[in-house]
Amino acid sequence: MQIDYLLLAEHAEVVGNKLYLMGGGWDQMNVPEAPANVRLALAAGVRVDWEETNTSIPLLVRIEDDDAQELFKLEGQINVGRPPNLVAGASQLSQMTFTLQTSLPRLGGYRLMFIGGSGPAEVRRAIPFRLVKTATR
């Protein structure tokens, strides 16, 4: 499995194997004060190899602060089937979205971690983002 893409957004959904994104690709969230209740969407595209189809692949989505302290965790799994017309040996793109709602304790840096697979087949990617105070006029 490989991670093709990972994006933060305000809203994301997959419909008919197409990703629909609103307010995507940001790395800074403005809030009036901290702690802050936040809602963010994560869009992920993972490429699943032929030999990984029809098996359960564990997934972990985690938000950490700059000191690597875990603040949010979501665990699950995917199982990508093999369509009858798929060419032998071909990989498949599996797109998914997650809407995360949590409280972030302070202004500053965070990172969203996406981990797929386990053991030697584990892949991971991090997206750094910052929580900043909304500018006043």
What is the fold of 2-133? Immunoglobulin-like (2.60.40)
Beta-strand pair 57-65/70-78: antiparallel
Contact 28, 130 (CB under 8 A): yes
Give the chain's largest Cα–Cα span. 60
Residue 137 has pLDDT above 80, yes or no: no
User: Which segments within the chain are labelled E, that is strand?
Assistant: 2-9, 11-15, 18-22, 28-31, 36-48, 57-65, 70-78, 92-104, 108-116, 123-133
Q: Domain boundaries in the chain?
A: 2-133
pLDDT at residue 136, as a whole number: 76
pLDDT band at 135; cut points 50, 70, 90: confident
